[in-house]
Amino acid sequence: MSKVTVSVIKADVGGFVGHSSVHQALKDRAEECLRQAGTLLVDFRVSSVGDDLTLIMTHRQGVDSPAIHELAWNTFLACTEEARRLKLYGAGQDLLSDAFAGNVRGMGPGVAEMEFEERPSEPIVVFMADKTEPGAFNLPLYRIFADPFNTSGLVIDPKMHAGFRFEVMDVREKAQVTFDLPEELYDLLVFIGAPSRFCIKHVFSKETGDVAAVVSTQRLSLMAGRYVGKDDPVCVVRCQSGMPALGEVLEPFARPHLVAGWMRGSHVGPLMPCSVAQATPTRFDGPPRVVALGFQLAEGRLVGPQDLFADPAFDRARQLALEIADYMRQHGPFEPHRLHLEEMEYTTMPEVMKRLAGRFVPLG
């Protein structure tokens, strides 16, 4: 049996209402486009979180396949047409170029792809997040693949005991670096603790060399040289039999951490795990959300999804996220709720500074 590729490609091509959700008409259009791809795909699902439309595809073309990327691009174009017809908000906002040149990387859509030999049983989780950035997955991926207090398999499963290899991308300098854990744990943390610049891109099993996780690391704001929309990320994680158990993969989300990207891409808030039905962020355009869709692969077919955060065991995490949201909101336009100056996606600072220039009296 040849290898299977899981490609998760997402874009915000128009919101309903404002930036809060994806209209059903866009999802229907996306399904229609992917169905028409015939045998190019083994299987597909269309999903969404907030205003981000996600195409989950399986196929035999490998990662970075021009045919798959073109299919995704054309699907987003068709959905943009639909969004324009309904005058949805920000129609086509993540499609940065008019001409497709063989690969959607760097063009706007977020891409997380992995190719592997399907195991006798292959459970995967597709995470989709809205109102945040790719580095939002740094902390949970660290916990899943490197923290024995989260993942007891690192201690007691012989197939995981060697640890995992982390590939980290410097999104500003466009460079990447690899760390072997647990040996280089402290070195890794120097970087991934700064998630706006350093993002975990891949995780690999040291035991087998197999890919274990992948994150979309596009940063739209840097790609366009100006703010054009948020780079709300997706992430795929393989589970069980030498990989972390499903419950170890979901566990970090039980303690919501603070991430950047809330309201106007310029505020910090808790990442709230939620079900598909709860994935419409409307409180101050948030708080940031993450949905987890579970699948079993069967010869590349997607058996699922199972809506993993619908479990009431995550109710307390949601409650805690709401309490943190209340607390953070009290700061209004003050840091650290509002991002620091360099990270904000909206600012009036240069304009106001210019207008008041004459009123600044030099000191000393």
Q: Minimum CB separation from ligand F6R for residue 348, in Å?
A: 13
Could you say which residues in the range 11-40 bind ligand F6R, by CB under 6 A? Answer: 18-19
Q: If contact means CB under 5 to 8 A according to the sort of partner, which of Mg ion, ligand F6R, none does residue 52 touch? A: Mg ion
CA distance 8 to 6: 7
* Contact between 219 and 132 (Cβ < 8 Å): no
Please identify which residue in the block is written with the tokens 């709860």: 278
265 belongs to the binding site for ligand F6R (CB under 6 A):
yes
Is residue 285 part of the annotated active site? The answer reads: no
CA distance 317 to 273: 7
Q: Minimum CB separation from Mg ion for residue 16, in Å?
A: 10
Could you say which residues in the range 221-260 bind Mg ion, by CB under 5 A? Answer: 232
In this complex, which beta carbon is closest to ligand F6R, that of residue 251 or of residue 285?
285
Catalogue the E-assigned strands of the chain. 4-11, 41-49, 52-59, 110-116, 122-130, 164-170, 175-180, 198-205, 211-215, 234-238, 258-261, 267-270, 272-273, 289-298, 301-307
94 belongs to the binding site for Mg ion (CB under 5 A):
no
3-state secondary structure of 361: coil
Instruction: Show the site string, 309-348: x = touches ligand F6R by CB under 6 A, - = not.
Output: ----------------------------------------
52 belongs to the binding site for Mg ion (CB under 5 A):
yes
Q: Give the count of beta carbons closer than 10 Å to the beta carbon of residue 185.
A: 15
CA distance 335 to 202: 31
DSSP secondary structure code for residue 99 in this structure = S
Spot the catalytic one: 27, 157, 170, 227. 227
Residue from the set 23, 42, 51, 166 that interacts with Mg ion by CB under 5 A:
51
In this complex, which beta carbon is closest to ligand F6R, that of residue 14 or of residue 265?
265
Q: Minimum CB separation from ligand F6R for residue 263, in Å?
A: 4
Interface size with ligand F6R, residues (CB under 6 A)? 10
* Contact between 123 and 295 (Cβ < 8 Å): yes
Active site residues: 12, 227, 230
